[in-house]
Every structure is written in structure tokens, then in C-alpha cells.
Amino acid sequence: MRIKTMTSCRVATSYQVGASTSNRTSVRQHRDRLSRRGMSLLEVIAAVIVASMIAITGLMFVRTQGQTSAERTCMGHSCRLQQDAELYQRETGKSPDSKLEAIRNGDYSGNRLPQCPMHGNNSTQTNYRWDGSNVVCKYHPGS
């Protein structure tokens, strides 16, 4: 009985293998694809491109928010200096100088005038100027 089984198995096996050579090749290719691990170079490049596009979009959003914040802070400083300059004009009857040194004391803006956030220097000179009727920032002249 055992011999018959082996013979029948060999016949069955030889029948399956000999049936079509292209079928055997496609089965081997399918097995090779399933056993392949990792990513191809094209897949890695595509993943890097997609990740960099997302990162660039995020950086643009952060940069825009930072600029908006700096502009709002600058606008707040110039409004405060505008009010101090107008108060100085009402109380003294004369206009402050162009560098706003006249309002730099304890009665108006304090001993230190504010700096625009775009100006990284911590000097005592302010970058806001008095043009005769308005306070203007050197870095944000339109605001």
C-alpha cells in the first residue's frame, strides 16, 4: 500500500508541475513578492517628498503666525506711544521730538521706550519715530 501511495503522489505531483511551465513561474514570482521585505527606492522617494511637503506647509503656517504676532505687538507699542505723545502735547503745549526722547520719563512712557519685535537690539534708543502727528515704526511703517 505504501508503494502505491508514493507512486500516486509522484504521478500527481508530476502532473501538476508538468501541466504548465508558465503557471509554475507565476507561482514562484508570487511567492517571491510575498516574501520580499522593505520598500523600493521609488516608495522611499515618494514618502520623503510627501513628508517634506507637509513639513513645508507647517513651517509656512508657523512663520505667518509669528509675523502676525510681531505686527500686532508693534501696533500695540505704537498705539501706546501715540497716546503718550498726545498726552505730552496736551500737558506741555509742545510736540515731542522725532526720537520721542521727551516722553521717556516716569510721567509718560517710563525710562525705557518699547522696541519693535522685529528689532533684536536691546539698546535704549527706540525704533519708533514721531512724524509730527503720528508715531511710526521703522520696520512697520504702514501699520
The C-alpha atoms of residue 39 and residue 42 are separated, in whole angstroms, by: 8
**pLDDT confidence of 123, banded at 50, 70, 90?**
low
Return the closest-CA partner of residue 115 out of 102, 128, 96: 128
| pLDDT score for 29 | 74
Does residue 13 carry a pLDDT above 60?
Answer: no
Mean per-residue pLDDT over the chain, rounded: 76
**Contact criterion met (CB below 8 Å) for 84 and 109:** yes
**pLDDT confidence of 125, banded at 50, 70, 90?**
low
| pLDDT score for 36 | 65
pLDDT in tens, 21-65: 566 777 777 776 666 677 889 999 999 999 999 999 888 877 777
**Contact criterion met (CB below 8 Å) for 76 and 97:** no
